[in-house]
Amino acid sequence: MILRRVAVISYGMTKVDKHWNKSLRSLFGEAALNAINKVKNPKIDAIIVGNMCASDLSDQNNIGAIVADELGLTPITAYRVEAACGSGGAALLTGFSLVSSGVYDVVMVGGVEKLTDNIGKMISFSLGKAADAEYELFYGATFASLNALLMNRYMYVYKTPREAFADFAVLMHKNGAKNPYAQLPFEINREIALNSEYIADPIRLYDCAPIGDGAAVIILCSLEEASKYTDSFVEIIGISGASDTINIASRDDLLSLKATVTAANNAYKMAKVTPKDIDVAEIHDTFTITAAISLEDLGFCERGKFDKFLYEGAFEPGGIVAINPSGGLKSRGHPVGATGVYQAAEITMQLLGEAGKMQIPNAEIGLTHNMGGVGSSVYVSIMKRVK
């Protein structure tokens, strides 16, 4: 039961990059101060932090207390939320619930991740824990190889040309080249994507999101109080999360992510909109195959027709829905536990008309889609411009 409507009144981000000279706390502090300085001195009641890998890669738990201390906000409530790569989306749902229920009036929702201070093997193993450690990792599966299974299956069932996945990567880099926060802000072509090195056949390097560090923050309050802090804000009109079996072998259908379908349908119902009403979306494209299946499960195109819609321009500005004007995980980068909050900040920018070269004209309703594992945890939010 929703007791209070919830607004996003501010946002802040760091550039996604290899921040070897910055710590978890300093990255979060930078993003948080960017958000706080945009509005009129909100009294933060709680901080919810999305993070996946700090325990493994930074030898640090208790992230909530660290960032509260960094910002000088102790003794407020502050804690970490973990749902693998979907941690940011889970943090957003938690923060929304706290404000909507009236437990707190102003909640800072953030995400932070430090990945690049470690060697590749350690990073891959930590990220691989988003899969089933007992039934998948134990037998040598990696996050990339599990998605490679889906990609092979998709191409076999739907006769989709390999080039379509490369061309989606090209579109993401075209978008990301306009994003000042992007880790890989440059364009590529089909040949570069198709000839990049194999990661797990048929997945190549440019089918994958890069590994990076970053932090993002949004500030939530009740809709009726939002005008106290700022003249421009957006409302979260729908939000939901869902889960699926963590190991993909237990699923009925490898080519549809049940958690995405469920979370999206619940969010659409709550928001009283349909996929046709969405102007701009930030979706979770860890791999190009993840994007293809997610676009279908979110209702933006028919199953098995990802390539047809792509080549018709459906996912570009002026198409059915503008997908990842930020460049998505593929070009903006994927600081794992922070990704879902980056998405929320980016949609807020779009709806407020503050996205600069990335701006989608007349965007009024936006969607975020954040995924943990191979679709085992999914969070979808829908936002609408208020004023």
Whether 169 and 288 have beta carbons less than 8 Å apart is answered as yes
Give the active site residue among 19, 173, 284, 334: 334
Looking at the DSSP bridge assignments, the partners of residue 378 are 242, 371
Q: Three-state SS string across the chain, please?
A: CCCCCEEEEEEEECCCECCCCCCHHHHHHHHHHHHHCCCCCCCCCEEEEECCCHHHHCCCCCHHHHHHHHCCCCCCEEEEECECECHHHHHHHHHHHHHHHCCCCEEEEEEEECCCCCCHHHHHHHHHCCCCCCCCHHHCCCHHHHHHHHHHHHHHHHCCCHHHHHHHHHHHHHHHCCCCCCCCCCCCCHHHHHHCCEEECCEEHHHECCCCEEEEEEEEEEHHHHHHCCCCCEEEEEEEEEECCCCHHHCCCCCCCHHHHHHHHHHHHHHCCCHHHCCEEECCCCEHHHHHHHHHHCCCCCCCCHHHHHHCCCCCCCCCCEECCCCHHHHCCCCHHHHHHHHHHHHHHHHHCCCHHHCCCCCCEEEEEEEECCCCEEEEEEEEECC
Residue 293 C-alpha from the chain's centroid: 16
Give the active site residue among 53, 85, 208, 221: 85
Question: Is 334 assigned a catalytic role?
Answer: yes
Whether 104 and 45 have beta carbons less than 8 Å apart is answered as yes
Question: Is 301 assigned a catalytic role?
Answer: no
Give the catalytic positions in this structure.
85, 334
